[in-house]
């Protein structure tokens, strides 16, 4: 059932999810607007309440219509939590503006894409394009690879873990857009996601390492297993850059396209892995 649900979700997302309508991040905005105090405890309580609601729904639908109701609910949850939605629109608008040499528009869209980790002040064009590549790699991880991981490992209750992760992702993005770095730090959301991303980053990282220069990428991946100091963003993007180094584009249109194409290949590889594990009975 996991593989079937996943394939339906990914197929629908690629064909029809082009905006915010089917995005959990957008649906949670009214809830986030009322938050004025920030702490790790408040973040945990909000997340656990969201997960509890989904768990109750999954449990209550069990066995109804021979499992069809539960399957439909899992697919809807997957559609809300997996996929970039409006971020994909920002990416396409960036490409359109960059191809027409609209400096103001393409810089505005680049700022949206690099919202979470930002770009170094007064960086060169080459450094800016590398950071844009890293941001796109991270967006693919945040909206596709990590949600896919939690959806799969949760088994029958994958939607519960998926909603928990997507809730934290949405909360982090909201804080980055509308509040100060201090308030975001007080919320503790970055620390929680740092822990949750540890295993998914290493799994995605080994895929990037295998597609990159093996003599350098694989030792770097093994070193990341004991790395407790760098952020998960730095670990993943440094591994991805081994593969991106094969195509050192300096063009503001082609450079991000290379990163997105690589991210799509990694996503496809992981879906194939899930399919093989399902076929051989490891997953259900």
**What one-character-per-residue DSSP string does 41-98 give?**
HHHHHHHHHHHHHHHHHHHHHTTGGGGHHHHHHHHHHHHHHSS-THHHHHHHHHHHHH
If one counts every other C-beta atom within 10 angstroms of the C-beta of residue 238, the result is 18
**154-181 residue pLDDT tens:** 888 889 999 999 999 999 999 988 888 8
**Least confident among 25-29, 116-120, 192-196, 227-231:** 116-120
As a whole number, mean pLDDT of residues 231-243 equals 88
> Residues near 98 by Cβ (< 8 Å), separated by ≥ 6?
106, 252, 253
Q: Tell me: the pLDDT tens digits for 134-157?
A: 899 999 999 999 999 999 888 888
Question: On the CB side of 74, how many CA atoms lie within 13 Å of its CA?
Answer: 28
Write the pLDDT tens digit of every residue in 51-63.
999 999 998 988 7
The three-state secondary structure class of 223 is helix
């Amino acid at each position: 059932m996991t593989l079937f649900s996943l394939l339906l979700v990914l197929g629908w997302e690629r064909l029809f999810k082009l905006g915010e309508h089917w995005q959990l991040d957008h649906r949670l905005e009214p809830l986030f607007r009322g938050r004025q105090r920030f702490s790790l405890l408040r973040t945990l309580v909000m997340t656990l309440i969201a997960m509890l609601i989904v768990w109750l729904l999954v449990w209550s639908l069990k066995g109804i219509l021979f499992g069809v109701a539960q399957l439909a609910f899992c697919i809807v949850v997957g559609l809300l939590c997996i996929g970039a939605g409006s971020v994909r629109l920002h990416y396409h608008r960036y490409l359109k503006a960059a191809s027409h040499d609209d400096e103001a528009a393409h810089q505005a869209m680049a700022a949206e894409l690099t919202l979470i980790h930002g770009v170094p002040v007064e960086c060169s064009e080459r450094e800016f394009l590398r950071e844009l590549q890293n941001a796109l790699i991270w967006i693919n991880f945040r909206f596709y690879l990590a949600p896919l991981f939690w959806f799969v490992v949760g088994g029958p209750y994958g939607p519960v873990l998926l909603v928990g992760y997507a809730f934290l992702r949405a909360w982090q993005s909201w804080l980055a857009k509308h509040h100060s770095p201090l308030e975001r730090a007080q919320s503790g959301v970055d620390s929680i996601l740092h822990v949750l991303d540890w295993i998914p980053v290493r799994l995605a990282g080994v895929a990037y390492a295998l597609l990159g220069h093996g003599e350098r990428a694989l030792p770097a991946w093994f070193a990341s297993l004991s790395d407790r100091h760098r952020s998960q963003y730095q670990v993943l993007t440094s591994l991805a850059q081994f593969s991106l180094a094969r195509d050192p584009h300096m063009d503001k249109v082609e450079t991000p396209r290379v990163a997105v194409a690589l991210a799509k290949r990694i996503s496809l590889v992981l879906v194939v892995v899930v399919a093989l594990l399902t076929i051989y009975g490891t997953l259900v």
